[in-house]
Structure 1
Amino acid sequence: MIRQNIGTLNALIRITCGLTFLSYASVRMTRKPWEKNSMLLTSMAALKVAEGIVRYCPVTDVINRTMTNENSNQDNETISPINPS
């Protein structure tokens, strides 16, 4: 099962914005069906709605994993004492 990585408020914002852009893109597609930008905007808006429903964002997951790996690498580095012999 996928672990949820965004909060409830963030999910509601994603759903609201995604549905807004989905409506906008649908109107653009009906008025100018030959434009490919509308299809791209529709796909991106649908992904935002899906992220909000599932409460999982792959981009946030990648960023969190990268930040965790950087922090663990910094913690594992040890400073060797200087021995003036």
Structure 2
Amino acid sequence: MKKNVGDLDAYLRITGGLTMFGVGVAKDSSSLIALGAMKVAEGITRFCPALYMLGISTNNDDNMPLKFSKNFDTDES
């Protein structure tokens, strides 16, 4: 399992996941608790199944075959 979540993305997932988890506990919402826990797990493991299925990576590691960036060539031959 290769990491496909970058540093900033992982921090945002952990922060958002903990927020969702806390709100879910406060409002007694099992769906918010589950979604928050899932986002925290994605941030900690730095792997997102949805990004994997779409072939997208927000990781800046050069070993990843697919990146979430576009190369705009200016070659107008």
Task: Compute the TM-score of the two structures, normalised by the length of structure 1.
Answer: 0.64
| Inter-partner Cα distance in structure 1 for 2:32 and 2:16 | 12
5+ residue gaps in structure 1? Answer: 30-37, 69-85
Q: CA RMSD in A?
A: 1.4
Cα-to-partner distance string for 1:6-47 (whole Å, 9 max, x where unaligned): 100000000000000100000011xxxxxxxx1011101100
Identity over the aligned pairs, expressed in percent?
39
Query: Which stretches of structure 1, 4 residues or more, deviate above 2 A after TM superposition?
Result: none
Cα-to-partner distance string for 1:44-74 (whole Å, 9 max, x where unaligned): 1100000000000000000007xx7xxxxxx
Aligned to 1:19: 18
| Inter-partner Cα distance in structure 2 for 1:54 and 1:22 | 17
Aligned to 1:62: 53
| Inter-partner Cα distance in structure 1 for 2:11 and 2:18 | 11
Instruction: Decide which structure has greater helix share.
Output: 1
Q: Give the counterpart letter for 2:22 in structure 1.
A: S
Matched position secondary structure for 1:27:
helix
Aligned residues: 57
5+ residue gaps in structure 2? Answer: 57-65, 67-77
Task: Compute the TM-score of the two structures, normalised by the length of structure 2.
Answer: 0.70
Matched position secondary structure for 2:15:
helix
Matched position secondary structure for 1:56:
coil
